[in-house]
Amino acid sequence: MYRLSWFYVLSILFCTVMVTENTVAGENLKKSIVKIYTVKTRPIHYNPWDMDSPKMITGSGCVIKGNRILTNAHVVSDQTFIQASRYGEAKKYKAKVLAVSHEADLALLTVEDKEFFKGIKPLSLGGLPDIQEKVVVYGFPQGGDTLSFTSGVISRIEHQRYSHSSIEFLAIQIDAAINPGNSGGPAITNGKVIGVVMQSRKNAENIGYIVPVPIVKHFLTDLKDGKHDGVPEDGLMVQSMENKGMKKMYGLTGDETGVLVVAVIPGSPTDGMVKPKDVVLSIDGHKIADDGTVEFRSGERTSGTYYTQLHQMGEKQVLEIKRKGKKMKVEITLTKTAHKLHLVPTYSYDTLPAYYICGGLVFSPLSLDYLREWGGAWRRNAPINLLHLLYNTYPSVKGEEVVNMIDVLPHDVNNGYHNLPNCVITEVNGTKVNNLKELIAVVEAGKEKPFIEFKTMLDKYIVLDRAEAEKTHNEILGIYGVPADRSVDLR
């Protein structure tokens, strides 16, 4: 009885110590969670010389080593003023952006006032969690001012489309509740950050996504040289090869699997190295299945782009391909991001859209941000000819972009064209133009020509009298309050 009593006492003391330690650890963790206040000012893409009115949003973040705050890019994109507050405190400190990866929806902030970081123990990054592992999400969602946390489990790990960039990366699906304001907050397992809260699926119950640690670590490693280069892309357009007849036609035998190259984007790392109708069998020694997936852990598969996206910009990658029945290895240097290889840019943040005005005709490169001006249902409401270009085409030459006539500022000089916005321009005075800079160059190099003739993708023509266009140029800009006939980057 005496020995049992001591054992009982020791057990009580041990449990008390453990509870105290867990309480202290929990308090330290809470102190590392930050609320972010961002004032955003977005450009109006259908009036690219104008800015929308400022809007305030809130988000979350966490302190990591180096007096840095890790959060989402979409929390701070297009910011004009940022503040941060600590857990349990009302004071707001002025913050600034250190680096942003819009493609991976990640950002780093800091606060110059060192008082902000006193008493805060930076959080550490963990590893990629297992399916069904428990996770806790910390942040400041709408509906209250104090710190909130929700718990759940890891439901799925695979590639998903990041809504901020419209690019697919590895993502972790969780069933913990995520609401507006949670964005940028940490997802914690065993006291370590295993991801950054990113987005939730609309019209679904408790399906949320976080940016996983491998993507976060890639971002942080990228910044070690003091600049952000981004996540590389190989530039291959591929399709699955699950049909037996197709595999036989392109020379796949036995247990060989892979994907068929249908196009190589000009100017990409694989341009001149890989050809259409090549079959890609493996990436860096990792076998590609006929559906285009690769195994990233035992029994777990995701998109074949996974092993490309693990690389830093400028690194080498080895592709094993089969060309006309012959196997070979191709080494490429990864030098381009997905954003720079798309015909229609997938995102445009923290920058003003490019534009050019001639005779009241307003030209601007087509972008996803322009299409989003049609609101939440833009996939249904935006012009179908522009949506087709977004979904179904890729550059045919290096530097190609879609030159869109986004608007007509009505005047006598452009009479007859007032109802012709959203015409894609392919030629000027019989010369093919591949981007806005080329359009401007052709227009301004043809001063001796009495007319300016624009040809559209639908083989229609828009003709301006050059002398009248030049004569009324400043008048049109003045009538519509346009400060200059072109964006700053084109002046």
What residues have CB less than 8 Å from 194, skipping those under 6 apart? 125, 126, 127, 128, 129, 135, 172, 187, 188, 210, 212, 213
Tell me what pLDDT residue 15 has. 44
* The domain boundary residue, chosen from 225, 258, 282: 225
pLDDT score of 66 more than 90: yes
What's the pTM?
A: 0.88
**How many other C-beta atoms lie within 10 A of the C-beta of residue 354?**
20
Catalytic hit among 60, 85, 148, 183: 183
Domain presence at residue 7: no
**Who has greater pLDDT, 142 or 47?**
47
Please report, for the domain that includes residue 324, its CATH number.
2.30.42.10
Tell me what the mean pLDDT of segment 216-240 comes to. 95
For 414-423, the CB contacts below 8 A with 24+ separation are: 414/359, 414/360, 414/361, 414/464, 417/361, 417/462, 420/462, 422/383, 422/385, 422/386, 423/456, 423/457, 423/458, 423/460, 423/462
Q: How confident is the model at residue 366 (pLDDT cuts 50, 70, 90)?
A: very high
Q: How many helices (H) and strands (E) does the chain have?
A: 12, 27
For residues 454 and 452, give the distance between their C-alpha atoms in angstroms, rounded to a whole number.
7
Band the pLDDT of 20: cuts 50, 70, 90.
Answer: very low
**Is residue 123 in some structural domain?**
no
Q: How far apart are CA 301 and CA 209, in angstroms?
A: 17
* pLDDT attached to residue 3: 45
Domain containing 287 equals 236-336
3-class SS of residue 12: helix
Is residue 46 pLDDT above 80, yes or no?
yes
Tell me, yes or no, if 218 is annotated catalytic.
no
User: What pLDDT score does 346 carry?
Assistant: 81
Domain stop point among 225, 256, 283: 225
The CATH number of residue 72's host domain is 2.40.10.10
Read off the DSSP letter of residue 486: B
pLDDT digits (tens, 9 = 90+) for 133-155: 999 999 998 877 889 989 999 99
Catalytic residue among 74, 164, 218, 228: 74
Task: Give percent of the chain above pLDDT 90.
Answer: 80
Domain count, the chain: 4
**Of the candidates 81, 114, 147, which is a domain's last residue?**
114
Q: Which of 165-179, 334-348, 418-432 has the lowest mean pLDDT?
A: 334-348
Q: Smallest Cα–Cα separation from 387: which of 436, 349, 343, 427?
A: 343
Residue 452 vs residues 87, 121, 193, 372, 465: alpha-carbon distances, Å = 62, 65, 59, 31, 7
Residues near 15 by Cβ (< 8 Å), separated by ≥ 6? none
| 286 has catalytic annotation | no
- What is the reported pLDDT for 398? 87
**CA distances to 72, 145, 217 from 106, in Å:** 4, 23, 11
For residues 376 and 466, state if they share a domain. Answer: yes
From 201, 198, 194, select the one nearest 217 (Cα to Cα): 194
Phi and psi at residue 434, to the nearest 5°: -100, -10
Eight-state DSSP code of residue 58: E
459 and 348 in one domain? yes
Cα 379 from Cα 371, distance rounded (Å): 8
**pLDDT score of 236:** 94
Calculate mean pLDDT across residues 195-202. 89
Q: How far is Cα 405 from Cα 293, in angstroms, rounded to an integer?
A: 40
Based on the residue annotation, tell me whether 74 is a catalytic residue of this protein. Answer: yes
**C-alpha span between 315 and 60 (Å, rounded):** 33
Taking only the tens place, the pLDDT of each residue in 454-464 is 999 999 999 99
Number of neighbours of residue 414 by Cβ within 10 angstroms: 22
pLDDT, residue 23, reads: 46
Span 264-318, pLDDT tens digits: 999 999 999 999 999 999 999 999 999 999 999 999 999 999 999 999 999 999 9
Angle at 213 between CA 207 and CA 214, to 5 degrees: 115
Q: What is the pLDDT of residues 468-488, one digit of tens each?
A: 999 999 999 999 999 999 999
Q: How far apart are CA 403 and CA 305, in angstroms?
A: 29
Residue 285 lies in a domain: yes
**Active-site residue (options: 105, 222, 234, 278):** 105
Whether residues 434 and 297 fall in one domain: no
